[in-house]
Amino acid sequence: MTTGVAVQKRHMLYEGKAKQVFATDNPELVIFYFKDDATAFNAKKRGSIEGKGVINNRVSELFFTLLEKAGVRTHFVKRLSEREMLCRKLEIIPVEAVVRNIVAGSMAKRLGRAEGEVLPRPVVEWYYKSDPLDDPLINDDHAQVFGWASAEELAKMRALTLKINDTLRAYLDSRGITLVDAKFEFGRFNGDILVGDEICPDTCRFWDKATGEKLDKDRFRRDLGGVEDAYQEVLKRVEQ
């Protein structure tokens, strides 16, 4: 395994809204750098959440470690520093998976349902990863005919999404957090499909189980205040 070996950080491959990705001297590994920058509504709203990068790096580490223990393969290798994570380099599949346990956000708006409605079972949705198109909702046929993912890959992604949801949901529930919904990204790696990106309060909705208080990026999206405190609270509970 590569974990014991020092890895050299090389040039930046990509800069996203919340992260930078760097090449390393090992072609199979990349380094993620987590920034404090925050965007919402397809980058129409921009800001910064102090300490967010450090928290998202640590929360993602804890979740990826939990998932690996549950038998889900992830891109996570190790956390290198407060803001850096060593990851396997995936060929990212341009189809994002969203899993929902409770109606919120775009589902409430699109389907005219009340935010907070508990779904009888988890619902999986696909979104095409495209900034110019605002990540549109798609179905299996779209993903297949445009060559974004095969039927086999979609089936595997769906099963993984449901397993990740079950695993995170139980873990969070025992720490007083309701997992409302979450977004996962997947990528190809040596013939397998691994979970990539990050799993954190930027990419999930977390509600306090007792009070219903929002402990995620909706505090930033909706100008609710207390954003940093909410992220800190999630880390504190997830670390328990």
Residues 159-198 that bind ligand UDP (CB under 6 A): 181-183
Cα angle 126, 109, 149 (rounded to 5 degrees) comes to: 5
Among 20, 26, 65, 106, binds ligand UDP (CB under 6 A): 106
Q: Counting contacts by CB under 6 A, is residue 94 touching ligand UDP?
A: no
- Token pair 């925050």 is found at 38
Q: CB of 20 within 8 A of CB of 165? A: no
Closer of 52 and 217 to ligand UDP (Cβ): 217
Cα angle 49, 54, 59 (rounded to 5 degrees) comes to: 105
Q: Counting contacts by CB under 6 A, is residue 105 touching ligand UDP?
A: yes
Closer of 58 and 183 to ligand UDP (Cβ): 183
Count of residues in contact with ligand UDP, rule CB under 6 A: 13
Show the tokens assigned to 84.
């850096």
Q: Which stretch binds ligand UDP (CB under 6 A): 4-12, 59-67, 99-107, 186-194?
A: 99-107
Contacts for 178 with CB less than 8 Å, ≥ 6 apart: 101, 102, 172, 206, 207, 208, 209
Contacts for 27 with CB less than 8 Å, ≥ 6 apart: 89
Count Cα atoms within 13 angstroms, Cβ side, for 55.
25
Q: Counting contacts by CB under 6 A, is residue 83 touching ligand UDP?
A: no
Closer of 10 and 222 to ligand UDP (Cβ): 222
Residue 40 CB, nearest approach to ligand UDP (Å): 7
Contact positions vs ligand UDP (CB under 6 A):
98, 104-107, 135, 181-183, 203-205, 217
